[in-house]
């Protein structure tokens, strides 16, 4: 009915009977981890028992508790999706005017600002981390700047120490788009302990997911409360309001999915670690053509993505052509760089590092079902064989 884009619709059927082991079967950039159906059905029993489908039900509360334990944080809030989570963060922090942001992220990082009428100000990225270059932030600060909204790309932490020193100096708020950064530690502490608010996406295609969903971590208890009422229309009891909010509630149906997926997280991460290792083994010899990213010093890896950097866009497009013939569908994630998405709204900019990375980066197929055979096929295509 509607056009389905890889950008959005990177889930698909993925069942390969053993006897077809040697057949090529379409291989997409990712697929959702689905727990055994009976585990999900068992979780649903709570809904039929309580009669409650949404509005901060038992399953949402339980999942928040279990996520606090898993992520070693004091408090968190489940929301309807990561995009709504960014909007809630912007409003809870009362941002206005300009917000410094990154050109290298998913569209939602930028569009959440534009949706709410804020002015994004792009700062180029660091060519190693692929996150905002803190040495370039200060020159972008004006009297209208209220915050920094930046992304831990592929779960690779921003230089939070440098960013927060600047934020403190200029009295700016900091929101981390931690959409990719579930279960990442940095400098010996959980990454969401950085900044004012971190938003972790729990979309179906994410490492840990609830189908649709998001998680907000606001470390300050008062800010946590601000986010909490913003997600439920601003209600203060029945007949009064703290302020203007939206409906960003997660339902029990999604929380039930999250509880099931969480039970499998150790196995999911271990499988992905092995897949990434196998990709590395097969691709490290091709450094004239593709570059693998070195881990960020001091950060743990969650293996949410396996990006490779081609030496040029021409080489990337050539590899994609080979893959397409093989029914392999990697993803140009992220392309275009965000300052090129809505030039009529954000103006023309030259951000050479982000442009160069966006033109050359490709995320290879990686999911819980990725097999040795898949890895071989993909690596061969990347290597142009």
Does residue number 303 form part of the binding site for a copy of itself (CB under 8 A)? Answer: no
Catalytic residues: 206
> In the set 254, 271, 289, 360, which binds a copy of itself (CB under 8 A)?
254
Provide the pairing of β-strand 185-186 with 189-190.
Answer: antiparallel
For residues 380 and 328, is the Cβ–Cβ distance under 8 A? no
Does residue number 297 form part of the binding site for a copy of itself (CB under 8 A)? Answer: no
User: In this chain, which stretch among 35-43, 147-155, 171-179, 276-284 interacts with a copy of itself, using CB under 8 A?
Assistant: 35-43
Q: Which two tokens stand for residue 53?
A: 């489908």
> In the set 20, 21, 26, 41, which binds a copy of itself (CB under 8 A)?
41
Supply the minimum distance, in Å, between the C-beta of residue 111 and a copy of itself: 5
User: In this chain, which stretch among 45-53, 148-156, 298-306, 375-383 interacts with a copy of itself, using CB under 8 A?
Assistant: 45-53
Cα(84)–Cα(364) distance, rounded to whole angstroms? 28
Judged by CB, which is closer to a copy of itself: 62, or 286? 62
Q: Which of residues 68-97 bind a copy of itself (CB under 8 A)?
A: 80-84, 87, 91
Query: Exposed (0-12), middle (13-18) or buried (19+): which is 330, by Cβ within 10 Å?
Result: buried
Q: Which of residues 256-285 bind a copy of itself (CB under 8 A)?
A: 257
Q: Which of residues 306-345 bind a copy of itself (CB under 8 A)?
A: 331-332, 335-336, 341-342, 345
Cα(317)–Cα(348) distance, rounded to whole angstroms? 25
For residues 184 and 73, is the Cβ–Cβ distance under 8 A? no
Q: Which of residues 341-370 bind a copy of itself (CB under 8 A)?
A: 341-342, 345
Which has the closest alpha carbon to 360: 315, 293, 321, 296? 315
- What is the rounded radius of gyration, in angstroms, for the C-alpha atoms of the chain? 21
Does residue number 3 form part of the binding site for a copy of itself (CB under 8 A)? Answer: yes
> In the set 27, 43, 47, 125, which binds a copy of itself (CB under 8 A)?
47
For residue 334, whether the previous peptide bond is cis, meaning omega lies within 30 degrees of 0, is yes
For residues 60 and 250, is the Cβ–Cβ distance under 8 A? yes
By three-state DSSP, how is residue 5 classified? Answer: coil
Cα(142)–Cα(98) distance, rounded to whole angstroms? 8
Judged by CB, which is closer to a copy of itself: 2, or 19? 2
Supply the minimum distance, in Å, between the C-beta of residue 170 and a copy of itself: 25
Supply the minimum distance, in Å, between the C-beta of residue 226 and a copy of itself: 13
Packed helices 352-360 and 313-325: angle between N→C axes, nearest 10 degrees: 20
Contact pattern from residue 170 through residue 209 relative to a copy of itself, giving x for each residue in contact according to CB under 8 A and a dash for the rest: ---------------------------------xx----x
């Amino acid at each position: 009915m509607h056009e389905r884009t890889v950008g959005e619709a990177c889930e698909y059927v993925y069942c390969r009977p053993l006897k077809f082991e040697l057949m090529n079967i379409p291989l997409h950039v990712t697929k959702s981890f689905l727990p055994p159906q009976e585990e999900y059905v068992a979780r649903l029993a709570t809904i039929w028992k309580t009669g409650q489908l949404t509005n901060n039900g038992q399953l949402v509360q339980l999942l928040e508790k279990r996520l606090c334990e898993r992520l070693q944080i004091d408090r968190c809030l489940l929301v309807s999706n990561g995009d709504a989570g960014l909007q809630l963060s912007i409003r809870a922090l009362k941002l206005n005017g300009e917000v410094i942001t990154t050109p290298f992220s998913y569209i939602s990082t930028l569009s959440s600002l534009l949706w709410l009428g804020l002015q994004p100000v792009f700062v180029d990225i660091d060519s190693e981390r692929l996150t905002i270059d803190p040495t370039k932030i200060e020159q972008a600060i004006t009297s209208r700047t209220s915050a920094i909204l930046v992304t831990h790309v592929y779960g690779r932490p921003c230089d939070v120490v440098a960013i927060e020193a600047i934020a403190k100096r200029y009295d700016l708020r900091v929101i981390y788009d931690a959409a990719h950064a579930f279960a990442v530690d940095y400098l010996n502490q959980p990454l969401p302990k950085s900044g004012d608010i971190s938003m972790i996406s729990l979309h179906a295609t994410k490492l840990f997911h609830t189908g649709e969903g998001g998680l907000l971590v606001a470390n300050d208890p008062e800010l946590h409360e601000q986010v909490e009422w913003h997600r439920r229309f601003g209600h203060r009891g029945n007949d009064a309001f703290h302020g203007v909010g939206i409906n960003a509630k997660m339902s029990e149906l999604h929380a039930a999915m999250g509880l099931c997926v969480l039970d499998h997280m150790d196995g999911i991460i271990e499988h992905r670690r092995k897949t990434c290792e196998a990709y590395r083994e097969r691709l490290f010899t091709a450094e004239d053509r593709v570059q693998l990213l070195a881990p960020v010093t001091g950060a743990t890896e969650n293996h949410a993505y396996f990006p490779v950097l081609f030496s040029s866009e021409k080489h990337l497009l050539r590899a994609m052509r080979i893959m397409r013939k093989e029914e392999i569908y990697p993803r140009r994630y992220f392309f275009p760089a965000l300052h090129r998405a809505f030039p009529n709204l954000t103006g023309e900019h030259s951000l050479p590092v982000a442009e160069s990375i966006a033109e050359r980066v490709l995320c290879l197929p990686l999911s819980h079902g990725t097999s040795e055979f898949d890895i071989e096929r993909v690596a061969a295509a990347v290597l142009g064989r």
